[in-house]
Structure 1
Amino acid sequence: MSLGFDISLHLVPASGSGESFSFEKAAKSYTLSLPFILTKSGVDSSKTKYDFTIHLFEHEGTTAFELRLAPQVTGEKVPYTGKPRGRKPRQS
């Protein structure tokens, strides 16, 4: 799925639901399996890189997250013009 526009993904906390996503404890923070969520939502994150911003909003008395995804804009790669790397060519 190639998206030429911004999309939003709303993450709303659910309790007791078997089909909900959960935060997992990491070293100093919490993580969320975002690639799994994006795949289930129909976004192919393996071929296109995305930038996203997170906005908090209230939903039925709880704090929920809105992730605004936009395809990452990459510039053209500039060729390397510095010192050549690797072994020097053999002189005969």
Structure 2
Amino acid sequence: MENRRTQKEIEDDLRAVIAQIFPGHRVELDSDTPLFNGGLSLNSTQMIELTLAFETFYDIELEPELLTTENFATLGSLAGLLEELLEEEVSPV
């Protein structure tokens, strides 16, 4: 069974996760929306909350070295990272 998620589907998933854990944020999230400075304006504690939420959502664990400002710069960059990780999960080794 094919379980691959496209970057757009992952972005939609992330929008839903963000809406659930940060209900006060009323920002329109597109691929280029910054997650820290401007846009969603996450702080480091909220980044951890978001990370835990999508790790639970996808049943994956992010390695600490992937928790970079580049990977979490925008909704699109985070979705791209998750797309790669999820692809690794379903691809035979």
TM-score, structure 2 normalization: 0.29
Richer in strand (by share): 1
- Bigger Rg, structure 1 or 2: 1
Richer in helix (by share): 2
TM-score, structure 1 normalization: 0.29
